[in-house]
């Protein structure tokens, strides 16, 4: 089951960031003796500025990411190009004054859950829990015994989880502000790995996506189509192939000042790679638009299947000589 929740209209008494829908599902899941996972895309906190009237999300003019709100001195900052901007008094799109800083962090969610479910075991999983081997062992034990797990991207690697029947993405828009890199594909990759660790009956998992701005085009792109396709595809894959990692995945990313040129390059690359793939065994996903970082346009070509290194060997020279081309293994 797949639910998108509008946090602007559906907030519980305990927090703006926890919907009544989420609480109901947590109650149901815990009553069955199953586990809950609450996901935020990074450790610490996420902040952004939204317009409650027109659902505008303040984004960097040079990069395709949302700006982060900073205090003392108050400003908005892009974590990719580092440009700073004044916090506006009114919305630059609709000119109304209902601008709202959105701020949510893993520790905040942890203490909310501990208060609400004091008889249950709540565990926040992040890099602090993984400093050495004994803490890793302890982390695994804690994960195993926890009823509610709160985690970040770290959760997406290396663990198999049994009995997780509810996953909630606390704030979908935080997937649009990942500081080092983000095309939507990156968010999907993280979440694909996350859900890839799910139990074997994962088609019964309930997935809740919370957002303040469900009508924002960037968020819609994530919630309406891509997330659903992505989850459905992942669940289908898991059903067909029983257990990951069945496929390998790599992103080829090309940068150019001109978005058309960078798209043309990934098309050419795709045509070349297809020539080495007469059996049509590889899956190619070429991004139809570019992702801007500091006004450079990044075009992506994702390749999936069993032996990607073998395929890439054919274009080894290009990979080495073309400095604008990056190869990112997932």
By beta-carbon proximity to Zn ion, the closer residue of 30 and 63 is 63
What is the nearest approach in angstroms of Zn ion to the Cβ of residue 92? 8
In the complex, the smallest distance separating the C-beta of residue 179 from Zn ion, rounded to whole angstroms, is 10
Q: Report the site for Zn ion in 288-307 (rule: CB under 5 A).
A: none
Identify which of residues 180 and 203 has a Cβ nearer to Zn ion in the complex: 180
For residue 320, report the phi and psi dihedrals to the nearest 5 degrees.
-70, -40
For Zn ion, the closer of residues 124 and 293 by Cβ is: 293
Q: Using only C-alpha atoms, what is the Rg of the chain?
A: 21
Residue with tokens 């998108």: 4
The footprint of Zn ion on residues 44-83 (CB under 5 A) is 51, 53-54, 56, 60, 62-63, 78, 80-81
Q: Does 264 bind Zn ion (CB under 5 A)?
A: no
What's the closest the beta carbon of residue 94 comes to Zn ion, in angstroms?
A: 3
The answer to whether the Cα torsion of 254, 259, 263, 265 is positive or negative is negative
Q: Least separation, in Å, of the C-beta of 188 and Zn ion?
A: 22
CA–CA dist 303, 315 (Å, integer): 13
Helical residues (DSSP H) of the chain, grouped into ranges: 20-31, 106-116, 133-145, 184-196, 217-220, 228-241, 259-275, 308-313, 316-321
Nearer to Zn ion, 43 or 79 (CB): 79
State how far the Cα of 181 lies from the Cα of 292, in Å rounded to an integer. 10
| Min separation Cβ 176 and Zn ion, Å | 13
Phi, psi angle pair for 114, to nearest 5°: -65, -35
Angstrom distance (rounded) from CA 44 to CA 90 = 28
CA 207, chain centre distance (Å): 14
Q: List the strands of the sheet with 84-85, edge to edge.
A: 68-70, 75-77, 84-85
With tokens 């609450």, the residue in question is 38
Residues 177-196, interacting with Zn ion (CB under 5 A): none
- From the list 86-94, 105-113, 117-125, 252-260, the region that binds Zn ion by CB under 5 A is 86-94
Residue number with CB closer to Zn ion (9 or 118): 9
Among 20, 24, 74, 93, binds Zn ion (CB under 5 A): 93
> At closest approach, how far in Å is the CB of 35 from Zn ion?
38
How far apart are alpha carbons 118 and 122 in whole angstroms? Answer: 8
Cβ of residue 224: shortest distance to Zn ion, in angstroms?
21
Work out the angle between the directed axes of helices 184-196 and 228-241 (0-180°, nearest 10): 40
Instruction: Give the binding-site size for Zn ion (rule: CB under 5 A).
Output: 13
Residue closer to Zn ion by CB (options 36, 51) is: 51
Span interacting with Zn ion, options 90-98, 204-212, 267-275, 298-306, rule CB under 5 A:
90-98
Considering only residues 1, 84, 94, 324, which one is a binding residue for Zn ion as defined by CB under 5 A? 94
Between 6 and 314, whose beta carbon lies closer to Zn ion?
6
Compute the residue count for the chain: 330
Is 56 or 188 the residue whose CB approaches Zn ion more closely?
Answer: 56
Q: Which of 179, 176, 189, 262 is nearest to 220 (CA)?
A: 176
Give the interface with Zn ion as residue ranges (CB under 5 A). Answer: 51, 53-54, 56, 60, 62-63, 78, 80-81, 91, 93-94
């Amino acid at each position: 089951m797949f639910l998108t929740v509008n946090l602007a209209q559906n907030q519980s008494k305990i927090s703006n960031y926890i919907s009544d829908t989420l609480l109901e599902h947590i109650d149901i899941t815990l009553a069955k003796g199953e586990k809950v996972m609450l996901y935020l895309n990074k450790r610490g906190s996420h902040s952004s500025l939204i317009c409650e009237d027109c659902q505008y999300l303040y984004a960097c003019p040079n990069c395709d990411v949302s700006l982060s709100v900073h205090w003392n001195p108050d400003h908005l900052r892009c974590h990719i190009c580092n440009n700073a901007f004044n916090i506006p008094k009114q919305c630059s799109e609709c000119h109304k004054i209902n601008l709202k800083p959105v701020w949510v962090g893993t520790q905040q969610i942890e203490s909310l859950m501990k208060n609400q479910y004091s008889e249950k075991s709540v565990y926040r999983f992040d890099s602090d829990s993984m400093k050495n081997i004994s803490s890793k062992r302890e982390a695994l034990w804690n994960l195993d015994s926890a009823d509610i797990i709160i985690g970040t991207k770290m959760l997406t690697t290396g663990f198999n989880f049994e009995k997780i029947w509810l996953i909630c993405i606390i704030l979908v828009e935080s997937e649009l502000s990942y500081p080092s890199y983000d095309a939507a594909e990156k968010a999907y990759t993280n979440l694909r790995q996350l859900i890839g660790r799910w139990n074997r009956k994962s088609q019964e998992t309930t997935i809740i996506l919370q957002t303040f701005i469900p009508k924002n085009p960037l968020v819609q792109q994530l919630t309406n189509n891509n997330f659903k396709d992505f989850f459905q595809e992942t669940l289908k894959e898991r059903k067909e192939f029983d257990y990951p990692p069945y496929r390998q995945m790599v992103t080829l990313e090309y940068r150019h000042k001109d978005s058309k040129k960078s798209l043309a390059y990934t098309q050419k690359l795709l045509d070349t790679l297809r020539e080495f793939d007469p059996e049509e065994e590889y899956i190619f996903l070429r991004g139809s638009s570019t992702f801007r970082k500091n006004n450079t346009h990044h075009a992506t070509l994702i390749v999936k299947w069993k032996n990607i290194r073998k395929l890439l060997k054919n274009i080894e020279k290009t990979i080495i000589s073309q400095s604008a081309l990056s190869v990112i293994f997932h």
